[in-house]
Amino acid sequence: MHELRFDGQVAIVTGAGGGLGKAYAMLLARRGAKVLVNDLGGDFSGKGADARYAEASAEEIRAAGGTALASGESVASAAGAEAIVRQALEAWGRVDILVNNAGIVSSAGPLWNVTDEQWATDTGVAAGGTFYMCRAAWKHLWESNYGRIVNVASGSFFGMGSGVGYPAAKGAVWGITRGLASAAAAQKKNIRVNCIMPIAGSRMTVLMGEQIHALMERDFPPKAVAPVVALLAHAESPCNGEMFSVGGGGFARVFVGVSQGYRGTNKDLTIEEARAHVAEAMDVARYTIPCDSMDEAALYESDVPWDAFRAFIG
């Protein structure tokens, strides 16, 4: 089995001052990539800034014989994202890999207690940061006809108690992943965009108490997630537009499918008829995984030329 390496390639890893992001950056560097380590250095709720976090990670890579630079810019603004990509291009002349790991949690508890500021912070870093970073790098990747983007979502996408902001942001990350992957595939670009939902001990799990954090660190160490991220970031990345749950040494595909459902043609469908067919709509014994929104719409019987929609949007 040949070793997968990144010699000559340049990677940007956001939120890499510690935890998962640092694990990703360290592994990519060990396998030959030049790595721009980005981290604002704020706390888990997004407050404050300290460039020493990014610099410490970059120094650790250099001490181990790798090549790394540090960035303390914020991904939550267009200017910050553009500065991060520009720094990599000016230093090394290219960007091949982008790992969008930065994210924070600023809100919890009942929805009525979530402030506008908390909502903006939660969505601004994970969703906004992913958007800004992808946009800043996208033209370069497009013109060079090569790129690997690994976005970091979360299992909170399935629901997180009373939390809303963080799951919403991570759900948006999945939407960004699918949109960019579809765009690259449509133009036959050698750009692959995938997504992971990591399970690992982190600064956030510290909040759950010493015992739980210790168990998370033992059973779900950040280093167990990094190999899957590196595989998706490699030239031999096996897929595009996919999402994986990753943790504890294993990983599994996560997908959004559409059941066979009830595909009636009665345009005068009544509430009572809808109720009568709920079981068919809910049955997942047979399902489809659409490539895009037009694929999903085409599951209904119609004469609408969905390919025309695809061409118009693309």
- Catalytic residue (choose from 53, 132, 146, 166): 166
- Decide: 44 and 105 in contact? Cβ < 8 Å: yes
- Determine whether 146 is an active site residue: no
Query: Which amino acid is residue 60, in one-letter code?
Result: E
Tell me the sheet residues that pair with 11. Answer: 35, 97
DSSP string for residues in 53-65: HHHHHHHHHHHTT
Catalytic positions, written as ranges = 166
